Amino acid sequence: MAKTSLRKEKWTLSFDPRLKNALIKEARKQGIYPVNLLEQIVRERFNSHGHASVKDSAAYVRELRKGSRRQSDEAFLNEIREWQESNS
């Protein structure tokens, strides 16, 4: 059975050439395609909380823990629980 390829919709967007140049420059700095940068920007705007944009959650938590070595593990977990309760 042949694999079906994922078909992406093709869109044509037209906007300010200066904005396009800025987008391309920033994409080159980050080493990604301009369309990927544009998708990231749109996701950030629609997802104002930003927690869904974390690509590797284990690495993200590891970095958070490195930054707060003074805080005990139990205090850290209590902070997370309080945050979860405040958002529910």
Buried b (16+ CB within 10 A) or exposed e, 22-52: ebeeebeeeeeeeeebeeeeeeeeeeeeeee
pTM (predicted TM-score): 0.44
Please give the average per-residue pLDDT across 42-47, as a whole number.
76
Split at pLDDT 50, 70, 90, the class of 29 is very high
